[in-house]
Amino acid sequence: MTTARARRRSATWCAVLLLVAALGLAAAPPAAATGWRTTLALHGPGTVVAGVPFAVTVAAVGPRGRIDHAYRGMVRFGTGDTLARALPARYSFTRADRGRHTFTGVTLVGTGTTWLTVRDVRRGWRHDTDPVRVANAGAALEGQVLSELDPVEGGIVTVYDAVTGLAVGSGPADTDGYRYRITGLPAGAVKVGAVVPGPYAPDFANDRNTLAEADVFVLSPGATLVQSWEVADFGPYLDVRPLG
């Protein structure tokens, strides 16, 4: 009788252990879905032009270099370019991505060699960094600094990125005493401001009081934007006002 009871107890425990094991297997996702060995690979152009948007592709790479189609992580981007105009927002991979997604509109501004990085938000060890060379766009800006429509000497003109508000170039208005030419600027949307030593208030194009209010001008690679007096494309017009 004791032996029979022991056998029944043993059979019951075996059944319990089998049930627990079955439940554990059912609850655990397949190995391919967890992607614990998956990392990220960032692919982009080796050289880009300052201010010109470009695209990069991020792939979730599993063992043996194969794309992990089950990857559902959230990624974020970073760069060594302190003047960067645009990086992709945080993004969560979806089933439709099948482990690979292309991001457009990446825009770097500072020239020279820098880097882009992508990192899994929750699992930081999943990341990749790609070096990128940012070439000078060769854009330029020409114009004049006036005060009540008269030439004024000693002006300093600064060009700002219209998106970030950061200064991307500056130079003196020292040609003929009041004209300027600023070179080596990035392509894309910019704003322009001027200051003149002495009793003058700063001015932003076109005759605006603040950078936020300033009109926006678009520079093209290899081209010079010259101040225009035509109504259709007026500016950038800089006219500092005397104080007092």
Q: What is the mean pLDDT of residues 132-157?
A: 95
**CATH code that applies to domain 139-242:** 2.60.40.10
φ, ψ for residue 146 (rounded to 5)? Answer: -120, 170
State the Cα torsion 56-224-213-110 to the nearest 10°: 40
168: buried, middle or exposed (CB in 10 Å: 19+, 13-18, 0-12)? buried
Residue-wise pLDDT for 156-178, tens only, equals 999 999 999 999 999 999 998 89
Single-letter amino acid code for the residue at 36: W
| Mean confidence (pLDDT) of the chain | 88
* Listed residue (80, 201, 71) closest to 58, CA to CA: 71
**CATH code that applies to domain 32-135:** 2.60.40.1930
Predicted confidence at residue 177, as pLDDT, reads 87
pLDDT at residue 87 above 80? yes
Check if the beta carbon of residue 60 is closer than 8 Å to that of residue 73: yes
Check if the beta carbon of residue 75 is closer than 8 Å to that of residue 58: yes
Show me where the domains of the chain are located.
32-135, 139-242
**pTM for this structure?**
0.82
Alpha helices in the chain (DSSP H): 2-27, 31-34
Confidence label for 25 from pLDDT (cuts 50, 70 and 90): very low
pLDDT at residue 15 above 50? no
Residue 199 DSSP code: S
Residue-wise pLDDT for 198-221, tens only, equals 899 999 999 999 999 999 999 999
Measure the CA–CA gap between 152 and 145, rounded to whole angstroms: 6
Q: Is the peptide bond before 206 cis (omega within 30 degrees of 0)?
A: yes
Domain 32-135 and domain 139-242 have a common topology: yes
Measure the CA–CA gap between 234 and 147, rounded to whole angstroms: 17
Predicted confidence at residue 3, as pLDDT, reads 52
Measure the CA–CA gap between 12 and 75, rounded to whole angstroms: 48
Measure the CA–CA gap between 190 and 200, rounded to whole angstroms: 23
Q: What is the mean pLDDT of residues 114-132?
A: 94
Q: Give, rounded to a whole angstrom, the gap between the first and last alpha carbons of the chain.
A: 113
Measure the CA–CA gap between 19 and 220, rounded to whole angstroms: 69
Confidence label for 69 from pLDDT (cuts 50, 70 and 90): very high
Single-letter amino acid code for the residue at 96: A
Q: Within its chain, how far is the Cα of 178 from the centroid?
A: 36
Confidence label for 230 from pLDDT (cuts 50, 70 and 90): confident
